[in-house]
Structure formats: structure tokens, C-alpha cells
Structure 1
Amino acid sequence: MKINFKYLMPLLAFLVIALSFQPVFADDSYPRTVTDLAGRTITIEKPIERIITNNPDNSRIVIALGDGDKLVASDECTVETGGCVCPMGSNNETICEACWQGVTPGGLDNLPVTNTRYTMNQEQMASLTPDIILMSSDKEADEVQEHVGVPVFVAAPDYTIDGIKKHITAVGNVLGKETEAKALNSFIDGEVKKVTDISSTIPESEKKKVYFATRGAMKGFYDAKEGRDFTRTDNKYEPLTFAGGINVAKDAADGNVNVGIEQIIAWNPDVILVACSTPEDSGVDFILKAPELQSIKAVKEGKVYNTFYPNCRGSPHDRNLINMFYIAKLLYPEKFKDINFEAEGNAIMKEFLGVDGVFSEYMDYLQFPNTQST
């Protein structure tokens, strides 16, 4: 049988053209209407591919849910200073290069900075053509949404475990990452259970009374400007409670508050914890040597310890979970001796950042976890 190429070639050309026009099926899940944690309702018209965050807590959740590759800009504490997502040293040197390079394509520290604590560049945001902006407060949300022309979703935790999980669920919902959000919340529940299964067996009469200087003691007893001082505490720090400690400030005013030195002396804690973010900012020696504090049991017995800084333009969920294990081992070393602290730290940071070994490098930099952990 002879093939007539005169007719075959036009037929082949037709088939190529026909195959190139495959039908495009609409995504029935869009547009989607969602409500943010400020009670605002927004409409998502299409799958989200480009994200701007304006604070580290939202950046961390975007990365933890597997959408770090969609970040196109963020705030200065996520990207440049403070190391609120990936750890950073006191001289702005990156710690764990694999973290900085692994959580977003091209490196987290190469993302454009579209806001600081005091300024927000809405024109730059618009030029980056995001599909959504995640903000931590509704203060400017409507203004930004109107000016930039994309939905603004407000989400931030209230820093309790339930608040963190609610935050994760909300961000997962708006990004279409509901399954990932559920898995992350299950991981958090599992980590808390590892500690509370042990701490719940400690009789109330045997629990240690703890004062936590949640802003450190870099400035001594009191610092009116930044609150980086010994008298600043928090009455509801859940990692401490989960670890089996009795927070002596539990009946103080809500949130981060300053209390009088006389009150701390009257509380007479068994243990004092001092938040520390770099090897240089330890206030432990200051507290141990302060004449005013020598009557406190923790000072007399030398039970004053550095611990991980619980704040970083928000509350870093991964480091606060690590604090839970760390405080538990400080307070009750025998009861928690079978928990491998470094392994738990690496597992937690990998869950949030997707990079293994981050915590090992971080604790080596800080130094105190290697000397205080058991």
C-alpha cells in the first residue's frame, strides 16, 4: 500500500494543532471565601502562588506548611536581623547555612524586605504581584488590601498551644494546606504529650517554683526603654507549666509585665530562668551576684539558668516547644533523663523549617544548652 504524503502531512499538522489545545478545566474550589482570625472575610480567586508575610510567626507557618517556595517578600526580622525564623548570631552572622538556603529558593536572606516594625512599603508590595499578604494585625489590613489590590489575611497566635494550633489551622485553610496543617498540629500535640505524660505524675507539693525573666537580664533589674531586664516576666508561659514548673507570676497581670524586686524576693523561687538569645547577653552572673537577691533560694543554691528566648517579633513556636523540653530537663533531670534533648530539638526545627540539624548548630552557638542540659 502506497502512502500519499501529499495528504498525510496536512493531517499530521492538524493533529499537532488539535493536541495543543487541550481543554482547561476550571478549579471548582475557587473562588473561595475565608474568614481570618480578626473576623474579616476575604475572597481568594485562584490558587495562591505568591505570598508576602509581614512577621516571622506567619513566615514560619508558611514554611512549615511547605509553601516556603512561594514567599516573595517578608519583614526584616524574618529576612535580615534577629534570626526569628532561621537562627542568627549577635553580629548578624547566619547560623546553619543549610537553613537559610533551604527554606526558600535563593535563600531566605535574599527575599525583599517590604516592612519593618515601623514602616510598610505598600508600593513595593504591589510591584511584587502577590496573591495574598499575611499580616499579624488588622490595624492596617484594610488599607493594605485596598492599596495593593490583593487579599490580606490576618493571623497571629495568642501564644498558648491552642492559640498556636488555631493559627496554623487558619493559615493552612487560606493556603489550601489543610492536610499539612492538621499534621503539624498533631506533631505539636505529640511533643507536648511526651513532656506532660511525665510531668503530670509529679505531685503538686514536689513541683519547683520558677521565676522566668522572659526578656533576659541584659539591662539589669529594670530597663524602661526596651524591657530587656530581670523584672520582666510572663504569667502564662505554657512551656514552663507543661514542664511541671509552678510559675510564681501566675497570678500577676496578664502578659509581659514588670514586677517589683521585692515581689520576686517574696515569691522566693526554687529556680530562676533567664531568657538568652546570644552567648554574650547572659544575665545569670548578674543575678547570682546581685546583693538584693541573695536571700532567694534559687540564688543561694545556684539554680539560675539561661534558657531559650521566647520572643522574636512574636513567639517562635519551634523554640518554645524546645524550651518545654529544656525546662523539663533542668527542673527534673532524673525524671526526663531518657529524653534526648538535642534529638528533640532537631526534630522540632525540622518539622517547622524542613531542614535537619538546625538545632545542633544553634545550641553549639549559644553554648549554654551544651553545659546546662543533661
Structure 2
Amino acid sequence: MHRKISSLLLVSVFIITFLFAGCSSKSAETSGSKSEKITVTDLVGRKVTLNAKANKVVAIGPGALRLYCYINGSKKLVGVEQMEKGKAVGKPYMMVNPEIKKLTAIGQGGPNNSPDAEKILSVKPDVIFSTYSSDKSSADELQSKTNIPVVVVSYGKQSTFDPDVYNSLQIIGKVTNNENRAQQVVDYMKNCKNDLYKRTRDVPENKMPSTYIGAVSMKGSHGIESTQGNYSLLKAVNGKNVVDETGKTGTVMIDKEKLLKWNPEKVFIDEGGLQVVQEDYKKNPDYYNNLSAVKNGEVYSQMPYNFYDTNIETAMADAYYLGKVLYPEKFKDVDPVKKADEIYKFILGKEVYSQMANNFGGFKKITLK
């Protein structure tokens, strides 16, 4: 009798254990499934859900690949726009990750071309990061065509130190299971912005030299008349931008006579357009020699950072050089070259200032001749 009871008890315990284990297993599976799903709100306000962290990625549109490289380098990329396969000059993210050029072409790329859904599909990505879509409908259309989640990222209005960039980097980190790295990059950018601000916030207005940034690259090289109003890099170091008198923001093509009227104390020339300025100087030296900055040897370089949108790390390095020239006492502990390489190393993983300097000239005084 006791043996029968014992046997029945053993069987009962076995059955209960088996059922409990089965339930636990199902519960774990369900929990795991739910936890793998990721939902993000992209930069045009769309909620995009992925079934799991992305292991195969493409980044399309001006600057999308660059933002991706800031977080992941070339990892997980399965295709690249044809435009990115060209020369890496001026694009540090491609200088540091040359293997990207070997990936399958997924469309022409470029600001005036639409995404190629068929070619994107050929590499079977888990997600598409895109800067092409400035509105929800175009992003939804590409997502519908490919049946692949499309996440819109953005450089915002000013690119450098823009909250939209921070948000985009964090979204990329979340989708690709690299949130810690994304937060580190965002924190680093914010710390640089705060450092620049703290160094210059107490400069009295009468100690701010009037400044002009000329030959700013934008969809190609331009002459001295190409500049920017409400210029983010000058704002970062509390600089006095003579162009702000116009009330305009972003790219401005001024009348050259206006520059003579402003007659800024210091002039910075974007090295992307330096050759254009030098050629113009040969034709009309008197114009330039009438500028106080030229007469007094106060013309300086700025490394070009606009190549298929903004190379934010180069722009940040430029901001430190601007600060060093405008307020040397506030930046006496800063070596702009070393700071540039620190920025390149942190954001891209490699020091590339020397390559940039070889290509464009680097940080220095400029003599027009």
C-alpha cells in the first residue's frame, strides 16, 4: 500500500514538475520575444517597430552613413550608395573605414536622387536609416515598397551641436544594440559644446573681434562671398559674426562690396574654397588689400567640413581653432591640432588631422597671393 502511494506521489510530482517547466519555458519564450522588439520614434515623428536588433543595415541619403559610422564604424553594413564609393578626401568617416567602398552598391545616392528600393532589397537589410525623407509620406512609401523598417535620421538646422543629431545617434544606437557607444558620442559632443561656451561666455562685447567666415563650401566650392548667418561654430565660441547684421540664417551669398563695408578684424577662409579666393585675388588684389584683416595679417584657415552633409567632427575641430584665434588667452591650454586628433579619435576611432592637413592645408594663417 505504502509503495503504491509512494509511486503515485512520485508520478504526481513528475507531472507537476513537467507542466511547470513547460509553462516556464513558454513564459520565457514569450518574454524573450517581446523584449526583442524595438520601437523608436524617428526624426519625422514616425513610430517604427523592428522585430529584433538590426544585424544588417544600410544608411542612405546625405550624411546618413556618417552618423551610422560614428556609432558602429563599418560593422553590420551590407550595402552602400555609389556616391560614397568615390574619393574619401574630406570625408574622415570614409578615410577611417575604406572597406565600406567594397560593399554592394544600393543606388546612386546624392541629394537629388531618390532611394533605389530594388537595389536596397537585393542586400536584405533589417533596417534602412535614411536622411532622404523630410516628411512621413516619403518614408512610409519606401517602407511600403521594401517591407523593411525605415528610420529617418537628421542633422537638424545647424548640424554641429544640434539636438536632432544627438537624437539620431541615440536612435541608431538603440536599433543596432549599441546604446552605450551612442550615449558616449552624444555626451562627448555635448561636453565639447559646453567647454567652448564656458571658455568664452564671459568675454565682454568690446573684446569680441568682428569676424567673417568666407568661401564656405556648400554643394561645391565658392569664393569669398559665400558665408553663413547665425553661424553655429562662431556661436559656439561667442564670436561676433558681421553677417548677422543681415538677419539671415544659413548659407548667404553676399555682395563683395558689403564685406569692404563691414571690414572685419579677422577673416577665416574655408580651405574648400581657398583656391577660388586665391584666383580671385590675382584678378583683383586691390579689393582684398583694402580689407583690414588682409593688411594686418589676420586671415586664417578653416578646414572644410561640408561633403555630402556635415562632417561634424571636423566642424567641432574648427570651432576650437576659431576659439583659439579669437580668444587666445581663453584657449591657452588648447593645441588645436591635438584637439582635432582627440576629436577624430573619439568619434571615428582614428587620428586623421594630418591627412586632412595634407589634403587642404590644416590650421594656419593664410597669405593671399
1:341 aligned partner:
336
Quick one: distance in 2 between partners of 1:369 and 1:263?
A: 26
Distance 1:216 1:32 in 2: 38
- Which has the larger displacement, 185-194 or 328-337? 328-337
Tell me the equivalent position of 1:191.
192
Match of 1:68 in 2: 74
What does residue 139 of structure 2 align with? 141
* Aligned 8 A contact 1:82 1:312 in 2: no
Please report how far the alpha carbon of residue 240 of structure 1 lies from its aligned counterpart in structure 2 after TM superposition: 1.8
Q: What's the TM-score once normalised by structure 1's chain length?
A: 0.78
Aligned to 1:35: 41
CA-atom RMSD, angstroms? 2.9
1:86 correspondence with 2:92: yes
The alpha-carbon deviation at position 285 of structure 1 amounts to 6.8
2:355 is aligned to 361
Per the TM alignment, residue 369 of structure 1 is displaced from its structure 2 partner at its CA by: 2.4
Amino acid at match of 2:161: I
SS at match of 1:345: helix
Q: Show structure 2 runs of 5+ residues with no match.
A: 1-24
Q: Does 1:254 align with 2:249?
A: yes
- Looking at structure 2, the residues matched to 208 and 292 of structure 1 have their Cα atoms a distance apart, in angstroms, of 21
Question: 2:109 corresponds to which letter in structure 1?
Answer: T
* Deviations, residues 135-193 of structure 1 (Å, cap 9, x unaligned): 11325422321222201111111224133323323333433433322211111122223
Residues 282 and 306, structure 1, Cα contact 8 Å, conserved in 2: no
Shift of residue 108, structure 1, vs aligned partner: 2.2
Q: Deviations over 1:319-350 (max 9, x none)?
A: 11011111122223344232122221112112
Identify the residue that residue 331 of structure 1 maps to in structure 2.
Answer: 326
3-state SS in 1 of match to 2:243 = coil
Percent identity of equivalent pairs: 22
Q: Would the alpha carbon gap of residues 134 and 162 (structure 1) be closer, same or farther in structure 2, given more than 3 Å must change?
A: same
1:131/1:151 contact within 8 Å kept = yes
Alignment of 1:204-243 (within 5 A): 204-215=205-216, 228-243=222-237
Unpaired runs of 5+ residues, structure 1, are 1-21, 89-95, 102-106, 218-224
Shift of 1:295: 3.1
Q: How many residues align?
A: 328
Match of 1:291 in 2: 286
Would the alpha carbon gap of residues 145 and 276 (structure 1) be closer, same or farther in structure 2, given more than 3 Å must change?
same
CA distance in 1, matches of 2:68, 2:220: 29
> 2:265: which partner in 1?
270
Provide the residue aligned with 2:65 in structure 1.
59
The CA distance in 1 between the partners of 2:116 and 2:323, in whole Å, is 43
Indicate yes or no: 2:295 matched with 1:300: yes
Q: For residue 305 of structure 1, give the secondary structure of its aligned residue in structure 2.
A: strand
How far 1:56 sits from its partner (Å)? Answer: 5.3
Work out the CA distance in 2 between the residues paired with 1:80 and 1:113: 12
User: Residues 229, 27 of structure 1: CA spacing in aligned structure 2 closer, same or farther, 3 A cutoff?
Assistant: farther
Q: Which has the larger radius of gyration?
A: 2
The one-letter code sitting in structure 2 at the alignment partner of 1:152 is: V
Cα pair 2:201 2:238 within 8 Å, conserved: yes
Residue in 2 that maps onto 1:170: 171
Moved more, 263-272 or 52-61: 52-61
Question: Residue 116 in 1 paired to residue 109 in 2?
Answer: yes
Partner SS state of residue 68, structure 1: coil
For the Cα contact (< 8 Å) 1:59–1:85, is it kept in 2? no
